[in-house]
Amino acid sequence: MKKTALLVVLSLLVLSLALCASAEESDERIFVADNGRLAMYLSQDHCSLDIVDALTGKTWSTTMNDETAEGLKIIPAQQKRITSLLAVNCTNLESGLGVVNNLALMAEKELTTDYALIENGVRLTYYLGTYQVGVTLDVVLDGGSLVVTVPYAGIVEDGGFSLVSVDVMPFLFSATDQAEGFFLYPDGCGAVMEFRDYAHYREPAKLYSVYGDYQKQPALLDMFAQEAPDVLFPVFGMNRQGHGLLAIIEEGAETARVSVNSSNNIIGINYLFANFQYRRSFEDKRVATRDIKVFDKEDIQADYRMRILFLEEDDPDYNVMALAWRKYLLDGGLEKHISDEPTVAIDLFMNAPEKGLLFDTPRTVTTLKEAKEILSSLSSLGVKNIRASLKGWTRDGYGETPDRFPLARAIGNDEDLTILNQAAASSGASIGMTVNFMEARATQRGYSHRNDVVYTGNHMILTDLDETIFLLSPDVSREKFEAFLRNASDFHLGSIRFERMGRYVGYNYGQRRYLTAKDTLAIYRDMLTKAQSGFQTVEAEGGNTCLLGYADFFTEVPYEDFGYQFTTYSVPFYQIALHGLVDYAARPGNMSSDLDREVLRWVEMGYTPFFELTYGNTEELMYTTYQSLFSAEYQAWQERVALAAKQFTDGPLSALHDQLITEHLRISDTLIRVTYENGDRVYVNYADESATCDGIEIAGMSWEVLTAR
């Protein structure tokens, strides 16, 4: 990082104060800027900001200023924390103990501060002398927004301590348990914690890694380890006492985190903030007797930027926040990537290896000729616009990644694939391939087990406990994809689906292949762009919004939160914002224990119907590497697939395929009403008994559409 002597910092302080001598000052705060909508003031100690919203009359402060906090007893150490604009997290890399010091500005005895007025805002510099660490941030008014930038060039490390992360304005989004309102945070499709829901009290704080935790992918975890939540979007919000804020991490989201903190005995305040990360931590697996955290020696050279929207609406709910985010995306140039007609997604699972003592035995449950029969049968039942994807088509079977040609002999040959593709096209369906270039099996050839895989910051290879699955370096993933693309172009397939790509953004600390998360995201987008030239539809497993504008269809998009105790309920924030802009699907319906309820969720949240089918009996897969497909034989499922599919491709739901959602309303615990931009309303009843709303009777476990035309 940039090294700056303390003398230079003090010189800048004197110069900056001289330049700011003309600023309007009072005994209580320093005037910074006013753009007509928002006005900003800086405290005399330079450690907090007040923002006055002329439209709502509300004053927001980075110091916890919830009206319901009056009389709340807070110990002095925590009082300094809640009045600090930043919290700086440092560690001593030389000691190697992995201990992180959480430093509030106001608690630092040797704190040096600096401010300088800039256009529409202020530049703030803090130097924590005890630890010889410094941070600079720019805070600027932009219409109805506050833009906070933490430039990498402003990071200072002069001593033995190194920066791990920065908590930005940790108490701007804060409230007591007595306040009316809620937090919104990016857990799954969106989650809400209501301040008056006592279930959150004393629950441990959670750090959500935006776009997923690379080290906690299911393939790398043993059966006792907990997976990480899906974190699909870099957005969080708050409604406190009828006024709302929405934060969007604009730059550096791929290495940022969102922290949710519940009230407890020590500090009776709930608070929510963005954590900008400069060093990741890793468990040192060389020590088995105790857990030791090791931090990156090299820092993440990221310029972070976050925009905070001051919402105009009174008492904004999650709908208002989702619509504000959608407007932000559209204003930023996001274009629609949605199919012309509503489709039905069908995965055709083909082949997986059964592990033997000496040799693997391929278990084939669908051939290419049988796939043709499945599509023909579904078409005869009235299923149209099928978006089919072949899964497990490779020579060594599903899971023996990275995927590559040739086709498995057991499923057919190149001519069979050409015939299948032509037959599908003639019936209005499309054929694609599901591919995985992110992971590599130890048993596979064609890559270097030392040079082509991902290394963590402690120079360890990122793999599972048995060292059977490795993560490929992102640039190697691109090389594997480009080799695949040269062969796939001969078949003129309709689509390609990238497994894992929409679930996380990787990195590599290997000496030969050093790639940051920002580098990786650029590689992912490059792969998707190249795929667009060879396929009609580009798909990604997962739903990370960093791929919006590059992927046309996302699968495995969650419709609920991860299930932490502090969450009051999940909300379809993701779906409200993105319906009509991109196609998305949940998990395959036949993998659900209750298809009827699953279909109701699809109707409520605008999902594409999705199934995974086989021609043969799935018992053949019992001892293979793919054991999650319990019931998928098409003959047993085709009637139910046809019934579910036609609900979306025919009738009133089909007209809503490309419509934006304007409101998602919980009429009761079991009755939902969704309104679309064309005025149509969808009513979904999850109760066993019928219900009535707006004069419409909805049968139990059913749905109705009230058209505006």
Query: CATH number, domain at 678?
Result: 2.60.40
For 349-385, the pLDDT digits (tens) are 999 999 887 788 889 999 999 999 999 999 999 999 9
Residue span of the structural domain in which 678 resides: 654-709
In a domain, 391, yes or no: no
Q: Give residue 621's pLDDT.
A: 92
For residue 456, being part of any structural domain is answered with no
Beta bridge partners of 259: 207, 273
Confidence of residue 218 (pLDDT cuts 50, 70, 90): confident
Question: Does residue 415 belong to any structural domain of this protein?
Answer: no
Q: What is the pLDDT of residue 284?
A: 64
Question: What pLDDT does residue 137 have?
Answer: 97
pLDDT tops 70 at residue 10: no
Residues 263 and 271: their CA atoms lie apart, in Å, by 8
Q: What is the pLDDT of residue 292?
A: 66
The answer to whether residue 679 is domain-embedded is: yes
Domain boundary among 275, 301, 331: 331
- The whole-chain average pLDDT of the chain stands at 92
Give me the mean pLDDT over the 425-429 stretch.
93
Residue 153 inside a domain? The answer is: yes
pLDDT(399) > 70: yes
Closest by CA to 270, choosing from 192, 185, 195, is: 195
User: Does 222 score more than 90 pLDDT?
Assistant: no
- Which pLDDT score is estimated for 187? 98
Any domain includes 424: no
pLDDT one-digit tens code per residue, 294-342? 888 889 999 999 999 999 999 999 999 999 999 999 999 999 999 999 9
pLDDT in the model for residue 465: 86
> What pLDDT digit, counting tens, does each position of 487-514 carry?
999 999 999 999 999 999 999 999 888 9
Tokens of 97: 């103990």
Give the mean pLDDT of 268-275: 96
Res 686: pLDDT: 98
292 Cβ neighbours under 8 A, 6+ residues apart: 97, 98, 283, 284
Q: Is pTM, for the whole model, over 0.85?
A: yes
Q: Is residue 18 part of a domain?
A: yes
Which of these ranges, 65-69, 225-229, 695-699, has the smallest mean pLDDT?
65-69
Predicted local distance difference test score (pLDDT) of residue 294: 84
What's the pLDDT band for 14 if we cut at 50, 70, 90?
very low
Report residue 64's pLDDT band, with 50, 70 and 90 as the boundaries: confident
Decide if pLDDT at 152 tops 90.
Answer: yes
Ramachandran class of 300: left when φ > 0, alpha when ψ lies in -120 to 50, beta otherwise: beta
Q: Which of 331, 354, 374 is the last residue of a domain?
A: 331
In a domain, 109, yes or no: yes
Query: How far is it, in rounded angstroms, from Cα 230 to Cα 208?
Result: 9
**How far, in Å, are 20, 373, 511, 634 from residue 425 at the CA level?**
69, 14, 47, 20
Indicate which CATH number applies to the domain containing 120.
Answer: 2.70.98
Residue 289 has pLDDT above 90, yes or no: no
Measured distance CA(511)–CA(261) in Å, rounded: 37
- The rounded percent of the chain whose pLDDT value lies above 70 is 94
Does residue 160 register a pLDDT over 70? yes
> How many domains does the chain fold into?
2
Q: Which long-range contacts (CB under 8 A, 24 or more apart) does 78-84 make?
A: 78/266, 78/267, 80/104, 80/106, 80/107, 81/106, 81/107, 81/170, 81/171, 81/267, 82/171, 82/174, 82/267, 82/269, 83/47, 83/48, 83/171, 84/47, 84/48, 84/170, 84/171
State the pLDDT at residue 159.
Answer: 84
Structure tokens at 19: 């330049």
Residue type (1 letter), 307: R
pLDDT, residue 76, reads 77
Q: What is the mean pLDDT of residues 71-91?
A: 86
pLDDT, tens digit, for every residue of 614-660? 999 999 999 998 988 889 999 999 999 999 999 999 989 999 999 99
Final residue of a structural domain among 295, 315, 331: 331
DSSP symbols for 586-654: -S-GGGSS-HHHHHHHHHHHTPPPEEEEBSS-GGGGTTBS-----S-BHHHHHHHHHHHHHHHHSSGGG
Please give the torsion angle defined by the CA atoms of residues 457, 463, 464 and 465, in that order, rounded to the nearest 10 degrees: -70
